[in-house]
């Protein structure tokens, strides 16, 4: 089996290089190998390698910058997945594409299910929604995985930023009214490999439950609680921390203005995923502990 993997140097892509290598030949590409904002490059990439499976975690993820670079975000987050879907369908290949909690406006009281109507509040969210719609429409053998607050030992993320700031400053202010779930890149990669394995064993679209799924770790938190957890874990591990336990101040999203609006509620209901595939989703604390052990 030949697997084409994009975003090889991203948080999820880095982990997917490991997990997918157990299934077959992995052709892993990054920005230096293929410009995903160029549709012809994307098309040539697929036609050159003729993969059995395409796994696409790559995205334009600079949420605030996307507000002023809408065309670039559109090309990477919407047009590239559309081309992957078209080419995968011609090859009879499977396409697994990652999407985001930012397709929702965050106004729902409970966790979002797959059938809830999206209402993105940012260019990033809007372009990711266009991408997942194209994949769903154009490729029969598709999986679209919406996830949230990705964190990994490799690459840049909130946990690493908090560790750096906590070592440099005496106090921090962190948003406490945005709720969601930190989700391990390694967990997503391992689950992806299991999904690809299951799908290739049941190639028929009527025997495998292709479609849209929400996949995050279990539980819920907010950015402030998340930051406090990371700092306390580091302190217990003996990492030098300047911030005292009571010096992480809780603020509101309104106190921290940004170019792009974030959903206040990013909780995704994962029941459909668990019931469809019988795979365990660990708590965000359990997953995060493994990552922090590697970082620290």
Active-site positions read 124
Beta-bridged to residue 251, according to DSSP, are 175
Q: First vs last Cα of the chain: how many Å apart?
A: 36
C-alpha distance from residue 23 to each of 20, 130, 143, 155 (Å):
5, 30, 17, 24
C-alpha distance from residue 90 to each of 34, 45, 186 (Å):
20, 14, 31
| Whole-angstrom distance, CA of residue 288 vs CA of residue 296 | 12
**Pairing mode, if any, of strands 150-151 and 172-175?**
unpaired
- CA–chain centroid gap for 241, Å, is 29
CA atoms within 13 A on the CB side of 198: 17
- CA–chain centroid gap for 279, Å, is 18
Token digits for 130? 């266009």
CB 23 within 8 A of CB 198: no
Overall residue count recorded for the chain in this entry: 296
| Whole-angstrom distance, CA of residue 152 vs CA of residue 186 | 7
Other Cβ atoms closer than 10 A to 46: 21
Who's near 282: CB < 8 A, 6+ residues apart? 184, 187, 217, 218
> What is the radius of gyration, based on Cα positions, of the chain?
19
**Pairing mode, if any, of strands 142-147 and 221-222?**
unpaired
């Amino acid at each position: 089996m030949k697997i084409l993997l994009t975003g090889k140097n991203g948080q999820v892509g880095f982990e997917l290089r490991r997990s997918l290598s157990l299934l077959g030949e992995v052709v892993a590409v990054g920005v230096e190998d293929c410009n995903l904002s160029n549709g012809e490059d994307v098309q040539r990439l697929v036609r050159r390698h003729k993969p059995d499976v395409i796994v696409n975690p790559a995205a334009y993820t600079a949420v605030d910058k996307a507000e002023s670079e809408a065309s670039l975000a559109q090309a990477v987050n919407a047009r590239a997945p559309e081309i992957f879907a078209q080419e995968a369908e011609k090859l009879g290949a499977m396409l697994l594409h990652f999407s985001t909690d930012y397709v929702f406006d965050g106004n729902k009281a409970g966790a979002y299910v797959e059938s809830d109507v999206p209402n993105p509040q940012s260019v990033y969210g809007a372009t990711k929604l266009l991408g997942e719609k194209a994949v769903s429409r154009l490729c029969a053998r598709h999986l679209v995985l919406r996830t949230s607050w990705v964190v990994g030992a490799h690459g840049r993320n909130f946990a690493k930023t908090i560790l750096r700031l906590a070592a440099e400053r005496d106090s921090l202010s962190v948003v406490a009214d945005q709720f969601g779930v930190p989700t391990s890149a390694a967990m997503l990669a391992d689950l992806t490999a299991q999904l690809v394995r299951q799908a290739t064993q049941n190639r028929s679209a009527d025997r495998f439950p292709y479609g849209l799924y929400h996949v995050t770790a279990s539980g819920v938190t907010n950015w402030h609680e998340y930051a406090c957890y990371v700092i306390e874990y580091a302190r217990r591990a003996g990492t030098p921390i300047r911030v005292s336990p009571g010096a992480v101040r809780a603020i509101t999203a309104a106190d921290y203005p940004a170019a792009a609006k974030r959903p206040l509620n990013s909780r995704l209901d994962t029941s459909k995923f668990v019931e469809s595939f019988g795979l365990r989703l660990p708590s965000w604390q359990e997953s995060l502990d493994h990552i922090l052990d590697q970082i620290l």
